[in-house]
Amino acid sequence: MTVFSDTTNNTGIVQQTRDMMRVDSAHWATSKIVNSCNNWLNKIFTFGKSTDVNFQLDDSNHTKLPIGTTDLVAGQSDYSFLVDENGNRITNITRIDLLDASGKYHNLKKIDQKQVVGALANYKSTAGIPEEYDLIADNIVRLYPTPSASVTDGLIYYFQRTPSYFSATDTTKEPGVPADLHRGFVVASAYDGALTLGLPNLEALSVELAKEEQKLSQYFNSRNTDSINRLVPRVESCR
C-alpha cells in the first residue's frame, strides 16, 4: 500500500514521483503532484465504470455507503440526485427501490424512452404506485407512473460518485482503489512533470505509463468474465 506523502521513509507517492523525475520540491511542488494524482483517479473511475458496468466501483476512502433516500412526493415524477450526504458529486444512478404508503418495498424496473412505443405523455399516465424509472440524465430519473401518494424517505437510490480526491495537506491517505493500481499514481505524476519541464527521461516514463495503462485495462477487463448478456424487450405504451 502506498500513502500520499511519507517524509520519514521517502516512500510516499510524492517522494517516489520526485525520485522518478529526478527533481526535488523546488522544481516540482506538491500541488502539481496532487493535480496529477486526481487526474489519474478520474481516469481509473471513468475507465472502470465504462469497462465493467456490473462492478459498482467506489472509492474506499468514502466514509458513507453509496446509498441515499429522498421523499416520494405525490404528483412529482422527476427526481434529481446531485450529491451524496458528504457533498460528493453523484455521477450515475444504479438502482432505485420504493417504499409505498402501505409500508411495502418495491424494486423499480429501469426502462429507456427508446423502449416505449407511442407518445411518452400517454405512457402510464394515470397516477399510482411507481413501477419503473427512466434515467433521463446521469443523476435525474423520471418515475412511471407518477406517484399518487407522498411517502417520507420513499425512494432508496443506489449510485456511483466521484472519488475521494487528494489535497496538498494529505499524508497517510492512500488511493481508494486496489493496491495493484497504486504505482500508476507515481508514474502518471512523474510523466506529467517530465512533460511539463521537458525532462530527458520523458520517453522512459512514457513507456512506464503505457505499462500502467495496460495494467488498468487488464484489471477491469478481467472482472465478471462469467456475466451473461440478455435481451431487453420493448415496452408497449398504455393508452
pLDDT in tens, 42-63: 999 999 888 866 778 899 999 9
Q: What is the mean pLDDT of the segment spanning 128-133? A: 96
In the structure grid, which three cell numbers stand for residue 113, read together?
424512452
Q: What is the mean pLDDT of the segment spanning 120-128? A: 92
Predicted TM-score (pTM) of this structure: 0.83
- What is the residue-wise DSSP string for 122-161? GTT-S-BS--EEEEEETTEEEEESPBSS-EEEEEEEEEEE
Burial status of residue 126 (CB atoms within 10 A of its CB: 0-12, 13-18, 19 or more): exposed
Q: What are phi and psi of 132, to 5 degrees?
A: -140, 165
Instruction: Taking each helix axis as running N to C, give the angle between helix 30-51 and helix 202-221, from 0 to 180 degrees, rounded to the nearest 10.
Output: 30
Of residues 236 and 171, the one with the higher pLDDT is: 171
Neighbouring residues of 228: CB distance < 8 A, sequence distance ≥ 6: none
The answer on pLDDT for 152 being more than 90 is yes
pLDDT band at 222; cut points 50, 70, 90: confident
pLDDT band at 230; cut points 50, 70, 90: very low
Q: Which segment of 115-119, 188-192, 219-223 scores lowest on mean pLDDT?
A: 219-223
Give the Cα separation of 189 and 38 in Å (integer): 10
Type of residue at 136: I
74 has which bridge partners?
none
133 has which bridge partners?
110, 143
- Residues 73 and 95: beta-carbon distance below 8 Å: no
**Strand (E) positions, the chain?**
67-72, 78-80, 90-99, 105-107, 109-111, 116-117, 132-137, 140-144, 151-161, 235-236
In the structure grid, which three cell numbers stand for residue 206, read together?
512514457
